[in-house]
């Protein structure tokens, strides 16, 4: 299963991936950081899920995640439109669109959209 994470910088995309997998795979930003952390698209493939309670990997279940560059950070070398194009190109090139199970859109909790 492939999940694509999109949303503003520091909305918790990388943290979401790590939380679901039960271990640190994607690099998370520090809370006090002013800058986006994920600065290029990262594909995490065929990763097993770790059960945090007994520290064991769950059998017969692997997940794929695409972690994307956060939107809305002017310190990043790409504009939001360029990031959207990069994500689109990545999806078309490395995976097939019909393999996507969900696009997960995260928002910052203080966003007016919430
Ligand atoms: N309190 C709280 N903090 C969170 C939550 N999710 C993420 N964080 C913190 O928010 C900060 C940013 O999280 P990231 O996962 O790096 O955010 P991101 O969307 O990947 O950011 P970019 O890579 O910059 O686009 C980190 O310090 C996380 O620990 C949450 O649900 N609650
Ligand atoms: Mg990130």
76 lines ligand 1 (CB under 6 A): no
Question: Residue 54, exposed/middle/buried by CB under 10 A (0-12, 13-18, 19+)?
Answer: exposed
For ligand 2, the distance from its centroid to the CA atom of residue 51, given in whole angstroms, is 22
6 lines ligand 1 (CB under 6 A): no
For ligand 2, the distance from its centroid to the CA atom of residue 37, given in whole angstroms, is 5
13 lines ligand 1 (CB under 6 A): yes
Q: Which residues have CB under 8 Å from 13's CB, separation 6+?
A: 5, 6, 7, 26, 38, 67, 68, 70, 104, 106
Q: Domain extents for the chain?
A: 7-37+50-103
Tens of each residue's pLDDT in the chain, 114 residues: 899 999 999 999 999 999 999 999 999 998 877 788 999 999 999 999 998 788 899 988 899 999 999 999 888 889 999 999 999 998 887 666 678 899 999 999 888 877
């Amino acid at each position: 299963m492939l999940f694509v994470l999109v949303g503003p910088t520091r909305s918790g995309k990388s943290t979401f991936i790590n939380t679901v997998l039960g271990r640190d795979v994607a690099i998370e930003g520090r809370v006090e950081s002013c800058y986006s952390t994920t600065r290029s698209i990262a594909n995490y493939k065929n990763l097993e899920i770790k059960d945090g309670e007994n520290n064991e990997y769950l059998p017969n279940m692997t997940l794929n995640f695409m972690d994307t560059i956060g939107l809305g950070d002017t310190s990043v070398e790409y504009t939001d439109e360029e990031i959207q194009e990069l994500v689109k190109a990545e999806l078309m090139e490395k995976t097939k669109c019909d393999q996507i199970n969900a696009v997960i859109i995260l928002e910052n909790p203080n966003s007016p959209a919430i």
